[in-house]
Structure formats: structure tokens, C-alpha cells
């Protein structure tokens, strides 16, 4: 559905997850946006197209209630990369400490 938006301001994105409230009134769609400089604009475009996305969902899903859509940036990949960098740094520092003993 997102690829049908055909807005040139939308960069390369991946839907990484969806959380739906218990009452099915709201769906939080988490997206990973490849280019850091495009994140704000891409999120704004996606959120401005919420009604289109909801309409497309209503055509594809057989549900009494189609939830409202809210797009959010998923930063978990970046967070994981940062943790990995820190662990490598610790490992390198420990290796340097052992070799100087």
C-alpha cells in the first residue's frame, strides 16, 4: 500500500512492525527510513497520507473496524548498531589492556 503513494518525497522505507490497540481503533506502524536526512519529510508525508492508507486497508481487509493509522520512526536498528559498536570498542580496549601486561 505504501508503494502506491507514489510521492517522490518518500525515501526508501521498510515497515518493521505494527502495534494495534486492544480496541483495534489505532494501529501504530513503525518504519525504518534508510536515509537519515529524509526521515522527517518521509514521516510527514506518510502521516499526511493516513486516510489513503486506511482506505486501502478497508478494501483489502474484512474487518468491522479499520484502525486509524499512525506512522512512527523505528530506531531499533540504529540502536542495535550503536550497541554493537560499543561492544566492539570494549573488546578492543580489553584486548589492548591484556597485551600490554
Residue 30 belongs to what domain range?
2-75
CATH number of the domain where residue 12 is located: 3.30.300.20
Closest CA to 13 of 21, 93, 30, 26: 30
pLDDT for the residue numbered 76: 84
The whole-number pLDDT of residue 100 equals 54
Q: How much is the pLDDT for 95?
A: 77
The predicted pLDDT at position 73 comes to: 92
- pTM for the predicted model, two decimal places: 0.72
Q: Cβ neighbours of residue 2 under 8 Å, at least 6 residues apart?
A: 10, 13, 15, 46, 53
94 is a domain residue = no
Handedness of CA 59, 14, 33, 23 (dihedral sign): positive
Query: Is residue 64 one of the residues assigned to a domain?
Result: yes
Residues β-bridged to residue 14 = 32
Q: Examine residue 86 and state whether it is found in any structural domain, yes or no.
A: no
34 within domain boundaries = yes
Residue 70: is it exposed, middle or buried by C-beta count within 10 angstroms (0-12/13-18/19+)? middle
Task: Give the count of domains, the chain.
Answer: 1
- For 3-25, the pLDDT digits (tens) are 777 777 887 888 999 999 999 99
Structure confidence by residue, pLDDT tens digits, 43-71: 999 999 999 999 999 999 888 889 999 99
Amino acid at each position: 500500500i505504501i508503494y502506491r503513494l507514489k510521492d517522490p518525497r518518500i525515501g526508501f522505507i521498510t515497515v518493521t512492525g505494527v502495534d494495534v490497540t486492544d480496541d483495534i481503533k489505532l494501529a501504530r506502524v513503525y518504519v525504518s527510513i534508510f536515509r537519515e536526512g529524509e526521515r522527517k519529510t518521509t514521516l510527514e508525508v506518510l502521516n499526511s497520507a493516513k486516510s489513503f492508507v486506511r482506505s486501502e486497508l478497508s478494501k483489502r481487509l474484512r474487518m468491522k473496524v479499520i484502525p486509524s493509522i499512525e506512522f512512527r520512526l523505528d530506531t531499533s536498528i540504529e540502536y542495535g548498531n550503536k550497541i554493537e559498536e560499543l561492544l566492539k570498542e570494549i573488546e578492543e580496549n580489553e584486548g589492548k589492556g591484556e597485551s600490554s601486561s
